[in-house]
Amino acid sequence: MPGIFAKGGRLAPINRCTCQRFSDNWHLGDKMQYTDDKLVNKVILITGGAGFIGSSLAFYFQENHPAAKVVVVDIFRGVKTLSNGNLKSFGHYKNLVGFKGEVLYGDINEAALMEQLFKNYRFDYIFHQAAISDTTALEQDLMIQTNVNAFKRLLDIAVSHKAGMIYASSGAVYGNAPSPQKVGNELPQNVYGFSKLMMDNIAKEYIEKNKEMHLVGLRYFNVYGSREFFKNKTASMVVQLGHQILSGKAPRLFEGSDKILRDFIYIEDVIQANIRAMHPAKNGIFNVGTGKARSFQDIANILQKELHTNYGNEFIKNPFIGQYQFFTQADISPTVKALDYHPRFELEDGIEAYIPEIKRLFQDEVAR
């Protein structure tokens, strides 16, 4: 990826797009627009819009494209849990406080919701984020129903509304396939990764059959950043370790965490990929990462540096061996080419930008 990495391997801003945002003087905290399209009167559906990435997208549109109409659909959270003890759905109203668009409760597994979406709206874009997002969930029936079947119904709505469909796939489709992970070389190790791969297969079929259709799948790698807190134990280790440190404890890591490498991607770059996908050079399925693998130990070290602590580490056994990814690093060159996607945040940058929110959450949600 020539031109993306500055000296020392840090990601550097580049001056590709016509707008001001990749100028050399952007700052980490800067909120950016990723399309010049004002989206006037465009109707945008965000499924899973009360979740981490969906609500971040909702606020992106509100802040940058106020003339667009945004409709959020989510099942929100109830009290039901999966057999692993985690909540069945993580949507939380607090992710949407301040959102001025339309919010609907709905289960994407229900035909009545699909009917309502099909009949009562005319969508220009659908950002499909709703899913059982818990990679450790064991319920194969619910996973396939929610992630795969419902996707097909939403694709049919997109076809009839002539809406662009941008949906969330996942780096979990690769399992322990060799790094850097490339589209076409998948080896899912859990039912979550399998369900996302099945979504991608369906998407490929729709792309083939519907030549006019605008359809982009985004394989997010490990996302971290604001609005993930309500994913509880399934939130990123950035926020979880951050809160352990803020409570005066050593960060708790799996043994060998310096050798467990992942492509960690900051939410702002995930938003960038989604918005870029509204005007792709071509349809397809693309990786969304930084293109770099970093360790969980790196996260703990960066956090301790940012929080000015030196607590050492506490190591525990990894209970997920066999269904756990040990080395992910996205090949993002096709994404750069097709979407003009250029990640701005290295792990150090993303954590630095996230620290004030990690501290706020600790004060408002954890320590009270």
Ligand X SMILES: NC(=O)c1ccc[n+]([C@@H]2O[C@H](COP(=O)([O-])OP(=O)(O)OC[C@H]3O[C@@H](n4cnc5c(N)ncnc54)[C@H](O)[C@@H]3O)[C@@H](O)[C@H]2O)c1
Between 109 and 210, CB nearer to ligand X:
109
Question: Least distance in Å: CB of 173 to ligand X?
Answer: 9
Between 185 and 247, CB nearer to ligand X:
185
Residue nearest to ligand X (CB): 51
H helices of the chain, in order, are 52-64, 111-120, 140-143, 150-161, 191-209, 237-246, 267-276, 296-306, 333-339, 347-361
Q: Closest by alpha carbon to 114, among 156, 148, 144, 52?
A: 156
Is there a contact between 128 and 151 (Cβ–Cβ < 8 Å)? yes
> Would you count residue 146 as binding ligand X (CB under 6 A)?
yes
Binding mask 60-79 for ligand X (x = CB under 6 A): --------------xxx---
3-state secondary structure of 334: helix
Question: Least distance in Å: CB of 114 to ligand X?
Answer: 11
Q: Tokens for 140, please give them.
A: 């194969």
Question: Least distance in Å: CB of 223 to ligand X?
Answer: 3
- Examine the residue annotation and report whether 192 is marked as an active-site residue of this protein: yes
Give Cα separations from 65 to 41, 105, 150, 202, 240 (angstroms): 10, 24, 28, 31, 32
> Would you count residue 90 as binding ligand X (CB under 6 A)?
yes
Binding mask 21-40 for ligand X (x = CB under 6 A): --------------------
For residues 22 and 63, give the distance between their C-alpha atoms in angstroms, rounded to a whole number: 18
Between 107 and 139, CB nearer to ligand X:
107
Q: State the burial class of residue 171 (Cβ atoms within 10 Å of its Cβ: 0-12, 13-18, 19+).
A: buried
- Examine the residue annotation and report whether 167 is marked as an active-site residue of this protein: no
Question: Least distance in Å: CB of 221 to ligand X?
Answer: 7
Per CB under 6 A, which of residues 301..320 are in contact with ligand X? none
For residues 181 and 261, give the distance between their C-alpha atoms in angstroms, rounded to a whole number: 13
Between 22 and 175, CB nearer to ligand X:
175
Question: Least distance in Å: CB of 235 to ligand X?
Answer: 8
For residues 214 and 202, give the distance between their C-alpha atoms in angstroms, rounded to a whole number: 14
- DSSP labels for 239-304? HHHHHHHHTT-PPEEETTGGG-EE-EEEHHHHHHHHHHTTS-SS-EEEEES-S--EEHHHHHHHHH
> Would you count residue 190 as binding ligand X (CB under 6 A)?
no
> Would you count residue 238 as binding ligand X (CB under 6 A)?
no
Question: Least distance in Å: CB of 132 to ligand X?
Answer: 6
81: DSSP letter: B
Among 125, 167, 220, 231, the active-site one is: 231
Question: Least distance in Å: CB of 15 to ligand X?
Answer: 29
For residues 240 and 227, give the distance between their C-alpha atoms in angstroms, rounded to a whole number: 13
Between 22 and 343, CB nearer to ligand X:
343
283: number of Cβ within 10 Å: 22
> Would you count residue 180 as binding ligand X (CB under 6 A)?
no
Binding mask 97-136 for ligand X (x = CB under 6 A): ---------xxxx-------------------xxxxx---
> Would you count residue 343 as binding ligand X (CB under 6 A)?
no
Among 60, 174, 192, 224, the active-site one is: 192
Candidate residues 86, 170, 189, 257; the one interacting with ligand X per rule CB under 6 A: 170
State the amino acid at position 329 in one-letter form.
Q
Per CB under 6 A, which of residues 204..233 are in contact with ligand X? 220, 222-223, 231
> Would you count residue 53 as binding ligand X (CB under 6 A)?
yes
Q: How many residues bind ligand X (CB under 6 A)?
A: 29
Q: Closest by alpha carbon to 34, among 273, 335, 214?
A: 273
Is there a contact between 58 and 46 (Cβ–Cβ < 8 Å)? yes
The binding site for ligand X (CB under 6 A) comprises 48, 50-54, 74-76, 89-91, 106-109, 129-133, 146, 168, 170-171, 220, 222-223, 231
| Residues identified as active-site | 192, 231
